[in-house]
Amino acid sequence: SYDLTQPPSVSVSPGQTASITCSGDKLGDKYASWYQQKPGQSPMLVIYQDSKRPSGIPERFSGSNSGNTATLTISGTQAMDEADYYCQAWDSSTVVFGGGTKLTVL
Amino acid sequence: QVQLQESGPGLVKPSETLSLTCTVSGGSISSYYWSWIRQPPGKGLEWIGYISYSGSTNYNPSLKSRVTLSVDTSKNQFSLKLSSVTAADTAMYYCARFTVTNSLVTWFDPWGQGPLVTVSS
């Protein structure tokens, strides 16, 4: 089965840039999506097709995908961005999620 | 704007069948795929499966033997049945619209709020 690996936690200071990685075998040959989940809420799509933002998602959210790693980047991180983030990809007709990364803004 | 709402029992006994329904409002269930994802308390997301508006399905291999998805286009609803449940099936169960393009770009949006389903006697 295909695995996506994320760091359990990432910390960032307000106003700085946060980078959350998602690693998988030849992930760059697939497309990655990213979801934000705040406590007590359902996940919300923030990036799809590696780097596209759905309507309503702030420009500070961006994504890239190359080689074995997809990266979600949050520029000018705000306190409201503190949440769990999950990557997701498609492999052999199966949906795969990463284990999630807790982003702490401190 | 499409919205999804799950409904069903919040408590299921071990060995019984968990049944949930997702109602789609603000848009038609036709021409899309629809999916279930679950999240055990304090843990990550696990894809359960998806169904098309025409009834074709694809399941997570790890759950395939216990999962059945169905769709009722007349009611704009789709449903999940998970049989022979154990405490390990205790989780938030989310329904979501699933998009898969010809280029195999995939994403889930929007999501329902998800009920917590507890498996306990």
- The residues near A59 (Cβ < 8 Å, ≥ 6 apart) are A53
Q: Which of B112, B98, B107, B115 is nearest to B18 (CA)?
A: B115
CA-to-CA dists, residue B45 to A56, A77, B39, angstroms: 23, 24, 5
- In angstroms, the CA B55 to CA B36 distance is 14
Which residues in chain A touch residue B108, judged by CB atoms under 8 angstroms apart? 33, 35, 43, 45, 88
pLDDT tens digit sequence for B70-96: 999 999 999 999 999 999 999 999 999
Does the distance separating the beta carbons of A98 and B109 come in below 8 Å?
no
Contact present, B119 and B86 (Cβ < 8 Å): yes
pLDDT tens digit sequence for B30-54: 989 999 999 999 999 999 999 999 9
Does the distance separating the beta carbons of A90 and B45 come in below 8 Å?
no
Average pLDDT of chain B to the nearest whole number = 96
pLDDT tens series, chain A, 106 aa: 999 999 999 999 999 999 999 999 999 999 999 999 999 999 999 999 999 999 999 999 999 999 999 999 999 999 999 999 999 999 999 999 999 999 999 9
- In angstroms, the CA A93 to CA B104 distance is 9
Q: Residues for chain B: how many in total?
A: 121
